[in-house]
């Protein structure tokens, strides 16, 4: 009986060790995501603004700004190396606008 008890104990330790080792290996295998704050020289406020979407040239950015219960898509332009003061985008301000997205236009396909 003592032998069976010892074997069960050793088996339990081995299993626990394997689970612990597998968890550690899995944690090492998955890269830890890093977070980079995009502020554009203070144009984007990390507490009120999010979801920046840049044009393909990288010189215009749209993002949404929260002001109380309102959300507005804002626009800023890179002019002579500096980002302009953000202003509401021409298409925003009437509704609860958020999460701007920019899609490339391909001249190869005709307009629908």
Domain ranges of the chain: 1-33, 35-101
At 28 the pLDDT is: 62
Residue by residue, pLDDT tens for the chain (112 residues) are 444 444 334 444 444 444 444 554 555 666 767 766 677 878 888 888 888 999 988 999 999 998 888 899 999 999 999 999 999 999 998 888 888 988 877 666 565 5
pTM exceeds 0.85 for this model: no
At 15 the pLDDT is: 44
Classify the phi-psi angles of 81: left when phi > 0, otherwise alpha if psi is within -120 to 50, otherwise beta: left
At 62 the pLDDT is: 94
At 30 the pLDDT is: 67
Non-local (6+) Cβ contacts of 46 within 8 A are 37, 39
At 74 the pLDDT is: 93
Tokens 């090492």 locate to 28
- Give dist(CA 33, CA 39) in Å, integer: 19
At 67 the pLDDT is: 86
At 102 the pLDDT is: 87
At 5 the pLDDT is: 40
Q: How far is Cα of residue 64 from the mean position of the Cα atoms in its chain? A: 14
At 3 the pLDDT is: 41
Non-local (6+) Cβ contacts of 89 within 8 A are 62, 72, 73, 74, 75, 100
Are the CB atoms for 77 and 84 separated by under 8 Å?
Answer: yes
């Amino acid at each position: 009986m003592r032998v069976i008890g010892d074997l069960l104990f050793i088996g339990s330790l081995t299993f626990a060790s394997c689970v612990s080792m597998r968890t550690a290996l899995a944690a090492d295998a998955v890269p830890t995501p890093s977070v980079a704050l995009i502020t554009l020289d203070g144009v984007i406020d990390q507490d009120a603004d999010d979801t920046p979407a840049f044009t393909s040239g990288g010189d215009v950015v749209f993002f949404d700004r929260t002001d109380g219960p309102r959300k507005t898509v804002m626009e800023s332009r890179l002019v002579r190396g500096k980002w302009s003061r953000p202003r509401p985008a021409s298409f925003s301000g009437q509704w609860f606008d958020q999460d701007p997205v920019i899609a490339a236009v391909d001249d190869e396909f005709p307009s629908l």
